[in-house]
């Protein structure tokens, strides 16, 4: 469907295309996988398929809990119809457990539970390597107002609560995750991008085994098996029939 449409944006693992409706876009999930600011790259057949299904399901769960997302529907596996947003150049990270870069930057104990969760905001800019921001810098750069930053934090905490509960029921521990927000045509702040093993840390709730892109960062050979496992845990038979997978 997107083949004949104009490409609006090409990211590291997704392409965004225009549609006949100026307020809607098509988000195509590619099989590319990257780490370390794109320094490490590969192509995993089926990854885009899995991430589109996982993201669609989690967006639907959030919508059911009155969280406004850009998701409209899954057109086919790999392609989502979404609301067009003016993206805010922030990466909003919610952390429930201390791991990853947090341990490199601060003296937390490994796997320390963070209660309340930490909300971290980074400037989404490859040239500056996505540095961490505080509210004052965000405001000074004109990225967002204090009111908008407060709203983004409030929405992120609610998303964390909803997804943590949902994923726990699926046998998955939500360790941390990255969100991106944008504004719709009416100026409302809306959740965009994706929610998948590319943007989240998922651990098996019993074994604490890695179920996300960390497997690629660590050089494991079964990365695609892990993505398919997570997809099977999150997307049930009813979803599969509904989406005609």
Question: Please, which residues bridge with residue 16 across strands?
Answer: 9, 27
Rounded to whole angstroms, the Cα distance separating 99 from 114 reads: 10
Which residues in the chain are classed under CATH 3.30.470.20?
86-222
Sign of CA dihedral 152, 156, 157, 162: positive
Which residues in the chain are classed under CATH 3.30.200.20?
2-85+226-242
Rounded to whole angstroms, the Cα distance separating 139 from 129 reads: 19
The CA distances from residue 5 to 22, 75, 80, 106, 241, in Å, are: 12, 15, 14, 46, 28
Query: Under DSSP, is residue 140 helix (H, G, I), strand (E, B) or coil?
Result: helix
Structural class in CATH, domain 86-222: alpha beta
On whether the pTM is more than 0.75, the answer is yes
Q: What is the pLDDT along the chain (245 residues), one digit of tens a residue?
A: 445 679 999 999 999 999 999 999 999 999 999 998 778 999 999 999 999 999 999 999 999 999 999 999 999 999 999 999 999 999 999 999 999 999 999 999 999 999 999 999 999 998 999 999 999 999 999 999 999 999 999 999 999 999 999 999 999 999 999 999 999 999 999 999 999 999 999 999 999 999 999 999 999 999 999 999 999 999 999 999 999 88
Question: Please, which residues bridge with residue 35 across strands?
Answer: 40
Q: Rounded to the nearest 5°, which phi and psi values hold at 4?
A: -95, 5
2-85+226-242: CATH homologous superfamily?
A: Phosphorylase Kinase; domain 1 (3.30.200.20)
């Amino acid at each position: 469907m997107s083949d004949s449409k104009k490409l609006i944006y090409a990211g590291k693992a997704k392409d965004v295309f225009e549609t006949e409706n100026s307020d809607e876009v098509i988000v195509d999930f590619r099989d590319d996988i990257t780490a370390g600011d794109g320094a490490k790259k590969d192509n995993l057949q089926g990854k885009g398929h899995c991430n589109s299904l996982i993201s669609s399901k989690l967006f639907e769960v959030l919508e059911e809990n009155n969280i406004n997302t850009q998701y409209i529907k899954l057109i086919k596996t790999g392609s989502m119809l979404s609301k067009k947003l003016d993206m805010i150049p922030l990466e909003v990270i919610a952390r429930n457990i201390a791991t990853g870069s947090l341990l490199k930057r601060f003296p937390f104990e490994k796997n320390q539970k963070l209660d309340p969760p930490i909300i971290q905001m980074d400037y989404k800019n490859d040239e500056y390597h996505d540095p961490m921001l505080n509210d004052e810098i965000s405001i000074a750069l004109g990225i967002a107002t204090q009111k908008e930053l407060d709203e983004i934090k409030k929405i992120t905490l609610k998303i964390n609560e909803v997804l943590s509960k949902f994923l726990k029921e699926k046998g998955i521990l939500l360790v941390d995750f990255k969100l991106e927000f944008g504004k719709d045509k009416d100026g409302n702040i809306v959740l965009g991008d994706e929610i998948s093993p590319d943007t989240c840390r998922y651990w098996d709730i019993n074994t604490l085994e890695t179920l996300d892109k960390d497997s690629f960062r660590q050089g494991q050979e079964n990365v695609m098996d892990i993505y398919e496992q997570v997809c099977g845990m999150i997307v049930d038979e009813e979803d599969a029939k509904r989406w005609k997978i």
